[in-house]
Structure 1
C-alpha cells in the first residue's frame, strides 16, 4: 500500500453487460428480460474480492437490477458497503425530460431503500450524462433527497464529458455535492484517471502513477469506478456491433480482475459517503 493516508473511493456501477449505453442501438430494452443475466454472479465475485482485502466500496445500483436480485442488494449492505443509485433503467439523464428524470431517480431510490432498509444518499448518472445542457438535473436530485452525485466526468469524450467542470468535490446545490470521477491535470488538459475502459486499455503502471499523482500532488481522494461485466470474460458476445464499440467493451476484459486485485493492494479504499459526507456505517 502507498505511504499516504489518503483514502480513495472505490465505486462499482451495478449493471449487466447488455445494459451499457453503447449497446443501446443494438439491444432493445424490451429484450433485456430475455437476455442471460450475469450481474449477480459477477457482483458476488467482486464482494468476495473486497472481503479478502477488508475493503469497503460504494455500489451504484440500477433499480432494474435491484428488483430482480433483492437478495444481492441485501448482501451488498450486510457486508458493509454503501448502496447508492444508478437510476432505474440506465437511461442517460441527457435524454430524459426533467419530469422523466425525476421519476427515474425517485423510483430507483425508493426501490433501493425499501430493499435495504437504509437511506440512499448517492447517485451516479448512466454514462456520466449530466453536463452543460442539463444542469437542472442537480435540482431534481436535491429535491429527491440525494446528498451527493458522481455524474460529471471533466474530460472531452465523444459520448459524455464536461471538460471545464471542477475536478474535485463541490457543492452544486444547497446540501448536494457533485463528486466528479478522477482526472489528472497535465499540460492544461484533464486526463482520465479513474477506471472504466481506460483502466483496461492503459498499462496498469500508468494508471497507478496517475492515481498516486492525484493523492500526492493534489492531496485529494481519487474516485475509481468499474462495472461487474468488466471482470466477466465469459459474457455472451453481442453480435453486429461496430468495431469501435467492440474494442471499447471487450478490450483486456480477461486481465481486469487481476488488475483490480493489484489496485486494491496498492491504495487505500473506502465508501463515497464516508469519505465525502463523513457518514458512519449505517
Structure 2
C-alpha cells in the first residue's frame, strides 16, 4: 500500500474560490446521482444482482432537483453513477442541457477503499467513458462513494489523474463510523503534491479543535435549517471560502420503498426528515449563490 503523502493546501485564499472582499461567494451545489437501493449502508441487505429488478425512482427525483435549481437559476455538479447513466441516457442529457456539470460517482457505487488499484482504475475509466459519450462533454470531477478515499488509499487520486480527471471531492475531514479523514485540510488542497489531483472536501466548520459537518447529507436533514445556514454563512464570511454542499435525489422522495431488516441507526439516518428536504433545498437556493464545481475551482487553479 502506498504511504500517504503530506497534505499540501492551497495557501492563497483566492486561489480556489476567487473570493474578494465584499464579493458574493459562489458556493458549490453537488448531487450524488444514485437510487435509494444503491446506498452503501444498504449493501448488506440488498444484493447487487437485484438492482435491475427494483423500482427505480431516480429519474423523477432528479427532475425534481432540476426544477428546484431552475427556479433560482442555480447550477450544480451532478456526480453520476455509470450504472444509472447507462439505463437513463436521456436523464444525463437533461442534466447537461440545463447547464449543469456532469461528473463521475464511479460505475456501480463500489467504495474506493474496497477496490484494488486495478479495479479502481477500471471503475473510474469505465464510468468516465460512459458519461462523456452520453453527455458530450469532458468529465473532469469524481466523488468516491461514501467518501471512501482516505489515508490508506491516497493512491486513488493518482489513478484519477492518470485517467484524465482534474479534481476529486472524496475526502471528508470529519470523524464518522463509515468514512472520514479528520486530519485533512478543510479546504481545497493537493494531497499528493503540487502536481497531484486537486481535492475539494465537503464543507466543515472548525469548533473546539474538531471539524463539524456543515455541507449537507443526513446532517442537513437532521439539523434545523437555520443552523445549517448559519454554519455555511460562517464559512463564507469568516473563512472567506465557498461552501460545498451535497445531496442525493432519493432524499427528496419520502414515498420511496422501505428496506426491510435494516438496523435502527441505518433506518434513522436514511429516512429522517425526507418530507422536509424539498422545502429546505428551496430555501438553500434562495439564501446562497450556487454554481458548478468546475467553474469555482478549476477556472482559477
Q: Could you state the TM-score of these two structures normalised by the residue count of structure 1?
A: 0.97
Correspondence 1:256 to 2:286: no
Correspondence 1:238 to 2:270: no
Check whether the contact 1:147–1:175 (CA below 8 A) recurs between aligned residues: no
Instruction: Give the alignment of 1:93-242 within 5 angstroms.
Output: 93-173=112-192, 174=195, 176-242=197-263
- The runs of 5 or more residues in structure 1 that have no matched partner are none
Q: What is the CA distance between 1:171 and its match in structure 2?
A: 2.1
Residues in 1 aligned to 2:212 and 2:196: alpha-carbon distance in whole angstroms = 29
Residues in 2 aligned to 1:128 and 1:36: alpha-carbon distance in whole angstroms = 26
CA displacement 1:122-174 (0-9 Å, x = unmatched): 00000000001111101100100100000000000000000000110012342
Check whether the contact 1:4–1:216 (CA below 8 A) recurs between aligned residues: no
Q: What is the CA distance between 1:175 and its match in structure 2?
A: 5.2
Residues in 2 aligned to 1:183 and 1:124: alpha-carbon distance in whole angstroms = 17
Residues in 1 aligned to 2:190 and 2:179: alpha-carbon distance in whole angstroms = 21
Residues in 2 aligned to 1:154 and 1:267: alpha-carbon distance in whole angstroms = 23
- Alignment: residue pair count: 277
Q: 2:18 aligns to what?
A: none
Correspondence 1:5 to 2:5: no
Secondary structure of the corresponding residue to residue 30 of structure 2: strand
CA displacement 1:91-149 (0-9 Å, x = unmatched): 00000000000000000000000001100000000000000111110110010010000
Residues in 2 aligned to 1:35 and 1:183: alpha-carbon distance in whole angstroms = 35
Correspondence 1:27 to 2:56: no
Runs of at least 4 residues of structure 1 off by over 6 A?
none
Q: 2:66 aligns to what?
A: 47
Q: What is the CA distance between 1:49 and its match in structure 2?
A: 1.0
- The runs of 5 or more residues in structure 2 that have no matched partner are 1-21
Residues in 2 aligned to 1:136 and 1:150: alpha-carbon distance in whole angstroms = 15
Residues in 2 aligned to 1:162 and 1:79: alpha-carbon distance in whole angstroms = 34
Correspondence 1:70 to 2:68: no
Residues in 1 aligned to 2:110 and 2:58: alpha-carbon distance in whole angstroms = 18
Greater alpha carbon shift after TM alignment, 66-75 vs 168-177: 168-177
